[in-house]
Amino acid sequence: MAKDIPIVLITGLDDHASIQQAFDVDATDFITKPVNWPILDHRVRYLLKANEAFKALRQSQIRLSDAQRIAAMGNWEWHIESNQLQCSEQVYKIFDRPEKSYETNFDVFLNCTHPDDKKNLILSINESIDKHTPYNFSHRIILPDGSQRIVHEQAEIILSAEGKPVRLQGTIQDITSRKQAENQIQHLAYYDTLTGLPNRTHFKLIAKRTLDRANNEGIKAALMYIDLDQFKRINDTIGHDAGDNLLKNIADNLTHALRATDVVSITGQGTTSYLSRLGGDEFTILVDGFINSHKIAQVAQRVLEHLGQPVTLNDLEYYITGCMGIAIYPDDGEDIDTLLKHADIAMYQAKKRGRNDFQFYASRLNQNTRERLGMETRLRRALDKDELILHYQPQVSAINGEVIGLEALVRWQHDESGLVPPGDFIPIAEECGLIHPIGDWVLETACHQARKWQKAGLPAIRMSVNLSSHQFHQKNFIQNVTNILQGTGLDPQYLELEMTESVIMQQLKKTITDLNDLKQLGLSLSIDDFGTGYSSMSYLKRFPLDTLKIDRSFVTDITTDSSDAAIIKAIITLAKSLDLMTIAEGVEKIEQLTFLQQQGCDLIQGFYFSRPIPALEIEKYLIDHSSISRFSESDQLTETV
Ligand code: C2E
Ligand code: MG
Ligand code: MG
């Protein structure tokens, strides 16, 4: 209070030391004697007025400081040239640093900015200086204890009389709690409070994004709509609280189901799935980056399997199932509402059939995928139940009819369907990955059988085994072949691997290396169905191949279609120039055989000599035909080309 009262010292002393002493004890003014009373009168009046103004200024500063404290806002001023920064008390509080505890230049201020936000903050400031415009910017700052705050800055540029930027002055406000509240509101608006999954509003946003992307890239997307079976009854029985807990557990099960399915694991390849809860016991899964309906059906089945796992609640186990309807964009609808409607209709159809089932909206897909899924499940069991068998077809010398080799061809001996040909199940095995165990089984069985016949004293002939592209491109394929050869004891010179053009005309550099590595093992390599794929002639000579197998389609009409005959001639000429053997497939008639003999084809395979037959029969065949020329006088090659 005393500080607010101005003090005027009247004294006879007018030396420097006395004047200083007076001001040191807080005198406001100093008057020497003799006193000039009219002047004193004016001086006192002026002092009182100045004191009032000073008090008002102090009050205003306190009010400003209080306002800044309440608003968690500080003000600052940066002198561009000197890089000095002046800050109000509240700025230090926002940065959680004691006032004047660090040098106040602009770099210190920048160093407290979150590293990820710094670049944009500097850009905004520079733009403001360059364009003489105010700036607004929200960013994060790092406090001394490592925690973060979000601040909002507003500043404007002050120009010199010459129009040069000299100062930047602005405010900084701590908006952390506001941002947190906003985030919370956002979360409440977009997420389901019970399960934490995206809610209907959010689902629609995700769906829009997904459909837009699918549209732009010309791909499909799938919407799966799940409704739990008899959930209302369960809810009424166990009460709504327990029902809520059950829903939470089910949401977890579904999340795990998606993590465990291929859809999520191939996210990197552009496929992602999004689970949402639309309300009640309704969930949706959006698959962005659709692969094919078969894959979607696999996902659907696995999701339903996970869903069906028991949920334990208050020491009781509940078995919940659900039905799923699937609609495909754009086939079943071009907007999300139509897709939802159609997935819902499909879901009700699934419900009509019973529990725990799924249904595509397009009935065509239901049948195809259902058949395929059934086939896949049965094929899995076929391996365990030893239902796969090999048939063997002889490959015969075109010159003297001697059996040179056998091709192993797989069949599926099925209880109901009988003997299923490879064309009906190999593509499915390739799609679902079963080709690996099946391929290994074929290779091992064929090698084992060849070795067994050799041990039994039959002439040592070559065994040809077909390879699928999936097998050849498998990481440890060469090691696999090595192990099988070692395990069965078959000399590699008696093994030939058949691959189609499409298998080896991929990843050419790697293929050449892999083929060379395979060749190093001592086995032979042949191109199957040659002429039906696209071979690069320049690569053909760089592959370490032994044989070209001329596809059956050229052989069939060899005697009636001049272009087929021309193609065969060309293939044989090409093979000879590359020092490769030729085998003609599908030879059924004597005329075909004669033509091929005339063209100099080396080996013949086809029904003319034998259909593919089981091991026991081929054994007999080999005994009957070993080292015996099979041609009658008229079949014998008369002129070799
Ligand atoms: P491929 O390797 O070209 O086998 C020749 C196919 O032609 C065999 O059909 C055989 O039965 C048939 N064939 C042979 N001679 C004649 C003939 O004179 N006339 C007619 N009409 N057909 C003849 P199959 O056994 O149905 O095999 C079809 C394809 O399935 C094979 O074609 C091969 O690509 C694939 N395959 C067979 N076994 C395996 C296997 O173990 N692994 C893999 N990855 N694929 C296999
Ligand atoms: Mg073959
Ligand atoms: Mg073939």
The tokens describing 636, both together, are: 């014998």
The ligand 1 atom nearest the CA atom of 435 = 44
Same domain, yes or no: 522 and 584? yes
Question: What is the residue type of 140?
Answer: R
Ligand nearest to the CA of 424: 1
Same domain, yes or no: 296 and 199? yes
DSSP letter for each residue of 443-465:
HHHHHHHHHHHHHTT----EEEE
Could you report the per-residue pLDDT of 354-402, keeping only the tens digit for each?
A: 888 899 998 767 777 777 778 888 898 998 899 999 999 999 999 999 9
161 in helix, strand or coil? Answer: coil
Q: Strand 148-159's sheet: what is its strand order?
A: 84-87, 73-79, 165-174, 148-159, 135-142
- Is the beta carbon of 468 within 6 A of some atom in ligand 1? yes
Query: Ligand 3 mean position to 586 CA, how many Å?
Result: 8
Same domain, yes or no: 205 and 322? yes
> How far is the C-alpha of 462 from the C-alpha of 491, rounded, in Å?
10
Residue 522 lies in a domain: yes
φ and ψ of 455, to 5 deg = -65, -35
The tokens describing 249, both together, are: 């557990």
Query: Ligand 2 mean position to 582 CA, how many Å?
Result: 13
> How far is the C-alpha of 142 from the C-alpha of 149, rounded, in Å?
7
Query: Ligand 3 mean position to 552 CA, how many Å?
Result: 7
Query: Ligand 2 mean position to 4 CA, how many Å?
Result: 108
Q: How many CA atoms lie within 13 A of 21 on its CB side?
A: 8
Residue 381 lies in a domain: no
- Test site for ligand 1: of 447, 585, 604, most ligand atoms within 8 A of the Cβ: 585
- Test site for ligand 1: of 409, 410, 500, most ligand atoms within 8 A of the Cβ: 409
pLDDT at 103: 60
113 is in which domain, residue-wise? 71-180
Same domain, yes or no: 171 and 241? no
Same domain, yes or no: 295 and 425? no
Contact 105, 131 (CB under 8 A): no
Same domain, yes or no: 82 and 63? no
For 496-532, give the secondary structure using H, E and C: EEEEEHHHHCCCHHHHHHHHHHHHHCCCEEEEEEECC
- Is the beta carbon of 606 within 6 A of some atom in ligand 1? yes
> How far is the C-alpha of 75 from the C-alpha of 47, rounded, in Å?
32
Could you report the per-residue pLDDT of 278-304, keeping only the tens digit for each?
A: 999 999 999 987 667 888 888 898 899
Give residue for tokens 């696209």: 534
Residue 222 lies in a domain: yes
The ligand 1 atom nearest the CA atom of 410 = 38
> How far is the C-alpha of 310 from the C-alpha of 250, rounded, in Å?
10
Query: Ligand 1 mean position to 310 CA, how many Å?
Result: 46
Residue nearest to atom 33 of ligand 1 (CA): 466
Residue 630 lies in a domain: no
Query: Ligand 2 mean position to 523 CA, how many Å?
Result: 16
Residue 633 lies in a domain: no
- Is the beta carbon of 585 within 6 A of some atom in ligand 1? yes
For 558-610, give the secondary structure using H, E and C: CCCCHHHHHHHHHHHHHHHHCCCEEEECCCCCHHHHHHHHHHCCCEECCCCCC
CATH code, 171: 3.30.450.20
pLDDT at 100: 67
DSSP letter for each residue of 400-422:
T--EEEEEEEEEEEETTTEEE-H
Same domain, yes or no: 366 and 393? no
Question: What is the residue type of 100?
Answer: K
DSSP 99: T
* Cis ω for the linkage preceding 427 (within 30 of 0): no
- Test site for ligand 1: of 466, 553, 607, most ligand atoms within 8 A of the Cβ: 466
For 264-315, give the secondary structure using H, E and C: HHCHHHCCEEEEEEEECCEEEEEEECCCCHHHHHHHHHHHHHHHCCCEEECC
Alpha carbon dihedral 410, 414, 420, 426, in 10-degree steps, equals -60
The ligand 1 atom nearest the CA atom of 607 = 18
Buried b (16+ CB within 10 A) or exposed e, 496-512: bbbbbbebbbeeeeebe
Contact 439, 471 (CB under 8 A): yes
Query: Ligand 2 mean position to 498 CA, how many Å?
Result: 6
pLDDT at 553: 93
- Is the beta carbon of 551 within 6 A of some atom in ligand 1? no
- Is the beta carbon of 409 within 6 A of some atom in ligand 1? yes
Residue 59 lies in a domain: yes
Q: Of 69, 88, 110, which residue constitutes the final position of a domain?
A: 69
Query: Ligand 2 mean position to 502 CA, how many Å?
Result: 13
Strands 524-530 and 495-500: parallel
- Is the beta carbon of 422 within 6 A of some atom in ligand 1? yes
The ligand 1 atom nearest the CA atom of 605 = 15
Residue 185 lies in a domain: no
pLDDT at 203: 94
Residue 634 lies in a domain: no
> How far is the C-alpha of 425 from the C-alpha of 435, rounded, in Å?
10
Ligand nearest to the CA of 612: 1
CATH code, 430: 3.20.20.450
Query: Ligand 2 mean position to 138 CA, how many Å?
Result: 67
CATH code, 296: 3.30.70.270
- Is the beta carbon of 528 within 6 A of some atom in ligand 1? yes
- Is the beta carbon of 85 within 6 A of some atom in ligand 1? no
pLDDT at 54: 85
> Which residues of the chain, if any, have pLDDT below 50?
1, 262-269, 628-641
> How far is the C-alpha of 328 from the C-alpha of 256, rounded, in Å?
23
pLDDT at 3: 64
Same domain, yes or no: 478 and 494? yes
Query: Ligand 2 mean position to 579 CA, how many Å?
Result: 20
335 in helix, strand or coil? Answer: coil
- Is the beta carbon of 612 within 6 A of some atom in ligand 1? yes
- Is the beta carbon of 429 within 6 A of some atom in ligand 1? no
Same domain, yes or no: 508 and 613? yes
pLDDT at 263: 41
Same domain, yes or no: 7 and 63? yes
Q: Of 376, 411, 443, which residue constitutes the final position of a domain?
A: 376
Query: Ligand 2 mean position to 405 CA, how many Å?
Result: 12
Residues 6+ away with beta carbon under 8 Å from 440: 480, 484
Query: Ligand 2 mean position to 577 CA, how many Å?
Result: 23
CATH code, 22: 3.40.50.2300
In the chain, the number of structural domains is 4
- Is the beta carbon of 376 within 6 A of some atom in ligand 1? no
Cβ neighbours around 97 below 10 Å, total: 16
Q: Of 180, 199, 222, which residue constitutes the final position of a domain?
A: 180
Same domain, yes or no: 537 and 547? yes
Buried b (16+ CB within 10 A) or exposed e, 624-635: ebeeeeebeeee
Q: 350 forms bridges with which residues in the sheet? A: none
- Is the beta carbon of 550 within 6 A of some atom in ligand 1? no
DSSP 114: -
Same domain, yes or no: 621 and 490? yes
